[in-house]
Structure 1
Amino acid sequence: MSRILRLGGPRLLTLVLAAVLSCVTVVGLAGPAAAHAVLDSSSPQDGARLEHAPATVTLTFDEAVQPIPASDEVISATGDRVDTGRLTQSADGTTIVLPLRPDLPTGTYAVTWRVVSADTHIVGGSITFGVGVDPSAAPVAPVAPPDRARALDVTADAGEGLLYLGIVLLVGVAAAAAALWPWALAARRTRLLMWAGWLLMVLSTIAPFLLQGPRAENESWSAVWRFADAGQTLDSAFGRELLARLLLLVVVAPLLTTAWAGRLQRRRYAVAGGTVAVALLVTVALTGHEAVGSDVPAAMISAVLHLAAMAVWLGGLAVLFTIVLPAARSGGFPLSAAGMTRWSCVAYSCVACLVLTGEFQASRQIDPVEALWSTGYGVVLLVKLAVIGLVLVAAAVAQRRVLTGGDVRSVVRRSVRIEAGLAVVVLAVTALLVSEPPGNTTYGPPSDMTAPLGPDTVHVHVDGTRRGRQSLELTVTDAAGRPAPVQAITASLSSTEVAALAVALAPDPGPAPTTASARWHSTDAVVPLPGPWTLALDVTVDSADAYSTAAHYRVY
């Protein structure tokens, strides 16, 4: 915001309140929204123990997905592939069915999958099930394939940052210069900035097109040079959105080579350029989290406003830093004639819009509010808010120094340098935020509970409360807190939607050869749905004493 030198106390207070309101928005507007596809359910369920082999494996996701050929498969414990390779998909795109070979032998099987979610992110996972195996046996964890696409993923994330930088230099510089400093449009430095932004947007549009196929197939750089799956990418919605963006960049190129002479001509070019700029921002929003989940129209409008505010704010900073201030310093005109009052008002509006729309978008991905500080997405979001807070602090300090008689020219230069540096950090954090899976798809903290057991107490620890497979550890202690061995424990999980799911428990091995143990662990606990769940326990202490108890916890 170069500085908020002309902002009075009420206006600065309003901006600070906007930042506070954005945090409230995260809490108040948090609701269900999907961005990276999440496996809702499977048949067989993860960890299931079956008497007879199933004919198919069914995977149901929370949104439409695009299967990746040869990436969805069923593997036996010996490493043999047992699906037929001819998957089918439901009409709405949310369910994938993998037919299995007939007469599967007794053993444990791993189902691995990789799909492209509606927001173009590539996600994967795995489940296991057993056929004819001992119900008390521990499940065999699937072996994850080597991550050959890691370098491509890092490159794609870096490309996101370059895309935002390109938006700032092309759209933001052009808009800020046209609105506030029309004379700067003819400057050679302005044209260089705009061409640099155009080139960055072109490169950051071509790169994901070439990388998407190899990343989906878990391939390395060699697949990129072979243009692997380029046709499949072009046939997808993601590919068509990238192609539309590239065509718009070709359309806008002649405007960068034209000298805008005359007020009428400038107005015509401004209308044409503004229309193309909005269309470019729409194509960027379409390839992000905003295109899926709840309230998509509102989210798309908010995303375009957010990108526009970011572009004008940071683009204005770039024009100030590279064109306006050097021209004023060389004696071309006094700083008071540089339109700083108008710039302060524009920057103030942009930052307020940036904060509010940005946190509205983030609020769709934070549920519950604890995910704000308990997930990677939430932590990156807090870092972004902190950086924007530093911008506000820098502006307030600059304002105070000017009002107390400081050197206006020196304060402006220093303020612009500081805010330009923070702007780079904002762009980097934004690119990282886009690449993070949303908090509402990863939140599921450990949970600890206790339940009375006659004179004793049973302590239950759940290693993670995300729906799906869960690991439960039970410890029985007496009134003095010492381990109290019990003969047997049977358990079941239930909710308002599920009557009862049996949970097999096995005693931890102890130093003495006895069946009684104070520590027990689950071998196949699976919780398929989010919400409140009850763990019911029937505990046999000895031949004379047995108790029933229950513990409650929430699954996300």
Structure 2
Amino acid sequence: MTQTIAPRVRTLVLLLLAACGLLLTTAGPASAHAALTGSDPQQGVVVDKAPDQVSLTFSEKVALSNDSLRVLDPKGKAVQQGKPSEVSGTTYAVKLHSGLPDGTYTVTYQVVSADSHPVAGAFTFSIGAPSTTSVSVSGETAGGGVVGWLYGFGRYMSYAGFIVLVGGAAFVLGCWQRGAGVRPMQRLVVGGWLTLTAATLLLLLLRGSYTGSGKVGDIFDLDLLGNVLQTKSGAALVSRLLLLAAAALFISVLFGAYDKREDEEKRDLTFGLAIGGTVVAAGLAASWAMAEHASVGLQTGIAMPVDVLHLLAVAGWLGGLTALLVALYRSEVPVESAAVRRFSQVAFGSVVALVATGVYQSWRQLGSWSAFTGTRYGQLLLVKIGLVALLVGIAFISRRWTGQLADTVVQRGKRAQQKERVPDKERVLDKERVLDKERVAANASGSGSGKSKGAGSKGAGDSKRAAQLARQQAAMDTARQKRTRDADPNRFGLRRSVLAEAGVAVVLLAVTTVLTQTEPGRTEEDAKAATAASSSSSSSSSAGSGAVTLDMSFDTGGTDGKGVVTVDFDPARVGGNEMHVYVQRSNGRAFDIPEVKVALTLEAKKIGPLAVTPDRIATGHWSASNVQIPMAGDWKVAVTVRTSDIDQTTVSKNAQIG
């Protein structure tokens, strides 16, 4: 039966790894965890004279570099001077050269949010009157490309390594102390340490390029690495490496001196290892909490300890589950029912802590019920909740198998005590057969050899034969142990349920990794509200000057097809008008789409539709000059937005013109 299960296990593992790879590769660039909520000048505005500076306001504090804020003239030449600086709170500005000519200027920004994620974008404003521009900002994304994919993979492997290292060591120390001498368990925990160490080094090398240029060639730039070491994220990664050195000492004691101690000595050493291991594990978890979501936003003094507890609970549950799976499938020493029961209790406590801390984190990151379905973070969180519920359901089945396994072991123990009084006939017969074979081999060697060969060659042949027989006997003993282990239907059922738990856990870890790279729902909704307030203020200003601004939401139905299109008519009169079209994503960032068309219809007079095809000025910005409005009235403005070769939609709104 186990022979038929092995291919299924391999197939399941491959499918799960493929699913995780799909989640990581389709995650796209890291979503901004600090959103642009305002600017001066505002996006798309036309100012009478050149401003002295350009300022940007974000939803939270960000880290700046020398090239974080750039302002480019219509020919693509930089017109900012000096370094960007903090004005107040979350507002940052860069000075401009004096005497700038009229035209459309492009503002680009690339900063790092307080929770370590890169944020990039661009918008335009005009001095005097709009103009064409040669600036292309379609590549203004952060955290994408090969470097972004590698960074996401490194994050996934670091989480996996932490869970296996901490959970595996806790399983050995707290549930199955005999496992300290089992080679597969040693390989598992050491493998977790190596994975976490390698992933941390990879993240440290990638960090500079990930938050900057995104170029593969900058991965080994020592200047960038030096800058990274001065940031909060760099300090967290270096701290993690130092703690991993302490973890290496813990592992060497756990699988070295600890396994060789007597039971009396083990008690004191167990207490010391438990205290030291808890401190190291909490420190490793804190290296995430101090640099990511928990370190910014509401109640950081509570959020960071809660995040540490959340990570430790995940490791205790999923890491211990992985260790139990290895013990059930790979260990030649059968895991005792008492060890499985102890892990069941640890897992139950971990799930309780996981749910409690998860509820708090969800409230903190979402802020409203609507964010569950209205934001990508909320949608991913719903998927995670569903996977956790599925995992708990399978764990309940495992607990049932655990109870039955305990009863079976008790009954078998009684039988074993009775059998100890009776000689093991099979083993005696095996030994007699081995002795007979040795005698036959010795006689054959003696008769076929002359006395000239001497006793030396005969002794060498006997030692080789004895070694071969010993290996055969060891193989027979191992096979007998495996048959005995696999013959227990309750143990077989437990193995299957634990394997299913581990499979769901792999996918859950992938979803969690993507979730940590996604903009929190509270931040996304705050950015939408700030953008709406800015648009309302801009519309009121435009209305006072005779201009008309129309905002229309659209959804082309394709992947990433939702956004808002804004149409400005200035001065909104009969005759020639300047028309500007702005396309933004739901979070307020410019939306780079291939085509926009506008049609004007005065239905009361049966005029139109008058087609207008604006020219692309920059990412998310189109413009058309001298748009002729032949008659005053209530004009229907229909905008066709195409987001891909096959996905497009038309939205419309009426406007009083003239």
Aligned partners of 1:147, 1:470: CA distance in 2, in Å? 11
Contact 1:166–1:201 under 8 Å retained in 2: yes
1:48 aligns with 2:130: no
Contact 1:507–1:520 under 8 Å retained in 2: no
Tell me the matched-pair count.
457
Supply the AA of the counterpart residue of 1:144. S
Aligned partners of 1:467, 1:387: CA distance in 2, in Å? 27
Contact 1:46–1:469 under 8 Å retained in 2: no
Structure 1 SS opposite 2:297: coil
Aligned to 2:385: 385
1:472-494 superposed Cα distances (whole Å, 9 cap, x missing partner): x999999xxx777799xxxxxxx
Aligned partners of 1:292, 1:190: CA distance in 2, in Å? 38
- 457, 461, 464: which is aligned to 2:552? 461
TM-score normalised by structure 2 residue count: 0.62
1:306 aligns with 2:306: no
Supply the AA of the counterpart residue of 1:257. S
Structure 2 SS opposite 1:144: coil
Aligned to 1:238: 233
- 75, 80, 104: which is aligned to 2:77? 80
State the Cα distance separating 1:228 from its structure 2 match.
4.4
Aligned to 2:496: 414
Aligned to 1:454: none
Aligned partners of 1:389, 1:483: CA distance in 2, in Å? 58
Aligned to 1:58: 55
State the Cα distance separating 1:85 from its structure 2 match.
4.2
1:362 aligns with 2:372: no
Contact 2:120–2:140 under 8 Å retained in 1: no
State the Cα distance separating 1:431 from its structure 2 match.
0.8
Contact 1:35–1:289 under 8 Å retained in 2: no
Contact 2:524–2:587 under 8 Å retained in 1: no
1:163-213 superposed Cα distances (whole Å, 9 cap, x missing partner): 111111211111122111112123222222221111122122222221121
1:160 aligns with 2:155: yes
- 210, 224, 229: which is aligned to 1:229? 224
State the Cα distance separating 1:392 from its structure 2 match.
2.5
Aligned to 1:95: 91
1:375-403 superposed Cα distances (whole Å, 9 cap, x missing partner): 32222212111211221332345567889
Pairing 1:247-396 to 2, within 5 Å after superposition: 247-258=242-253, 259=256, 260=258, 261=261, 262-324=266-328, 326-327=330-331, 332=334, 337-396=337-396
TM-score normalised by structure 1 residue count: 0.72
Aligned partners of 1:514, 1:138: CA distance in 2, in Å? 28
Aligned to 1:116: 112
Structure 1 SS opposite 2:109: strand
Aligned partners of 1:403, 1:271: CA distance in 2, in Å? 30
Contact 2:73–2:105 under 8 Å retained in 1: yes
* Change over 3 Å in CA distance of 1:272–1:156 after alignment to 2: same
Aligned partners of 1:146, 1:467: CA distance in 2, in Å? 16
* Change over 3 Å in CA distance of 1:508–1:102 after alignment to 2: closer
1:202-260 superposed Cα distances (whole Å, 9 cap, x missing partner): 12222222112112221311111233411111111221121111111112212211221
Supply the AA of the counterpart residue of 1:79. G
Contact 1:110–1:129 under 8 Å retained in 2: yes
State the Cα distance separating 1:348 from its structure 2 match.
1.6
Pairing 1:135-150 to 2, within 5 Å after superposition: 143-145=137-139, 150=145
Aligned partners of 1:418, 1:516: CA distance in 2, in Å? 67
Supply the AA of the counterpart residue of 2:521. G
Supply the AA of the counterpart residue of 1:115. V
Structure 1 SS opposite 2:80: coil
State the Cα distance separating 1:410 from its structure 2 match.
2.4
Q: Which segment drifts farther, 417-426 or 386-395?
A: 386-395
1:436-473 superposed Cα distances (whole Å, 9 cap, x missing partner): 122233355999xxxxxxxxxxx9734539586899x9
Aligned partners of 2:507, 2:223: CA distance in 1, in Å? 34
Aligned to 2:513: 431
Percent identity over the alignment is 31
Contact 1:485–1:517 under 8 Å retained in 2: no
Aligned partners of 1:138, 1:467: CA distance in 2, in Å? 26
Aligned partners of 1:50, 1:208: CA distance in 2, in Å? 44
Aligned to 2:635: 518
Based on CA coordinates, which of the two structures has the bigger radius of gyration?
Answer: 2
Q: Which segment drifts farther, 346-355 or 165-174?
A: 346-355
Aligned partners of 2:404, 2:188: CA distance in 1, in Å? 36
Contact 1:128–1:142 under 8 Å retained in 2: no
Supply the AA of the counterpart residue of 2:384. K
State the Cα distance separating 1:50 from its structure 2 match.
0.5
- Give unmatched runs, 5+ long, in structure 1: 1-33, 448-458, 488-504, 523-536, 542-556
Aligned partners of 2:149, 2:75: CA distance in 1, in Å? 33
Supply the AA of the counterpart residue of 2:340. M
* Change over 3 Å in CA distance of 1:67–1:263 after alignment to 2: same
Structure 2 SS opposite 1:86: strand
Aligned partners of 1:314, 1:155: CA distance in 2, in Å? 24
Aligned to 2:103: 107
Aligned partners of 2:638, 2:53: CA distance in 1, in Å? 30
Structure 2 SS opposite 1:437: coil
Contact 1:122–1:216 under 8 Å retained in 2: yes
RMSD (Å), alpha carbons: 3.9
Structure 2 SS opposite 1:58: strand
Supply the AA of the counterpart residue of 2:62. V
Aligned partners of 1:180, 1:356: CA distance in 2, in Å? 24
- 124, 128, 138: which is aligned to 1:128? 124
Contact 2:197–2:241 under 8 Å retained in 1: yes
Supply the AA of the counterpart residue of 2:235. R
Aligned partners of 1:192, 1:424: CA distance in 2, in Å? 19
Aligned to 1:9: none
